[in-house]
Amino acid sequence: MKAGTDLAQIASLVGDPARANMLAALMGGTALTASELAMEAGVTLPTASAHLARLSDGGLLRMTRQGRHRYYALAGHQVAGMLESIMGVAAELGPRKVLPGPRDTAMREARICYDHLAGEAGVAMFDAFAARDLIAIEGDEVNLTTRGAIYFSGFGLDIEAMLEKRRPVCRSCLDWSVRRSHLAGSLGAGLLDRFIALRWVRREKDSRVIRFTPPGRTAFEKLLREA
């Protein structure tokens, strides 16, 4: 009964269409203002404000003020993971009639999952790194190997800074579209940042879809082969 109450409390926060749309938008990983989230959810500002207050009180969102803006973001990876798992069930149950449209296909290929790369590209990358011993999978844990630390430093990531933070460098995250793991953690986030900086990929605006540029695609595939 206690378990049920907790369950209901969290789930009911997600269970409202307006709030769910906000949360889905925040799965993109970038913090958004109250107005942007109101737009996203299709409600007026006052309504959005009330919803955001509830989500923050409930611990699902974190807010930071910046001048007269208030930026909202998901409270953490665990929340993002929970949302993914609910989406997974919805995806399993949902496609009674509709076959995956072009948008869904793009999502399946590559998308942002909070702050790192997910979809087929993310899974392929995870597997390739594991095969090259850049990361070591031990049970549920994923760890950076020495080889990996050297390699990723050479790729332009500040591995030392990552190691000092509390956030795990490597984590595996279950992919709802492919049902396999991809790489999360600060390494996963750092890699995606780097891909964007190198113009290998571009975020499609107002969506979680990640598009590879033609040279980016080539470079990414080379990376996986030769890592």
Sequential DSSP letters for 4-42 = HHHHHHHHHHHTSHHHHHHHHHHTTSS-EEHHHHHHHHT
Tally helices (H) and strands (E) across the chain.
11, 11
- Closer residue to a copy of itself, CB minimum distance, 58 or 217: 58
Question: Strands 171-174, 111-113: parallel, antiparallel or unpaired by DSSP?
Answer: unpaired
Q: Which of 26, 52, 113, 209 binds DNA (CB under 7 A)?
A: 52
Residues that bind DNA (rule: CB under 7 A) add up to a total of 23
Q: Which of 33, 62, 167, 174 binds a copy of itself (CB under 8 A)?
A: 174
List all residues 6 or more positions away from 41 whose beta carbon is below 8 Å from its beta carbon. Answer: 17, 18, 19, 21, 22, 25, 48, 51
29 binds, among DNA, a copy of itself, none (CB under 5 to 8 A by kind): none
226 binds, among a copy of itself, DNA, none (CB under 5 to 8 A by kind): none
**34 makes contact with DNA (CB under 7 A):** yes
Q: Which of 25, 26, 40, 70 binds DNA (CB under 7 A)?
A: 70
- Closer residue to a copy of itself, CB minimum distance, 175 or 216: 175
The gap from C-alpha 162 to its chain's centroid, in whole angstroms, comes to 18
Whole-angstrom distance, CA of residue 135 vs CA of residue 152: 11
Where does this chain bind a copy of itself (CB under 8 A)?
1, 3-17, 19-25, 27, 40-42, 58-60, 78-79, 81-83, 85-94, 126-127, 130, 137-141, 172, 174, 179-181
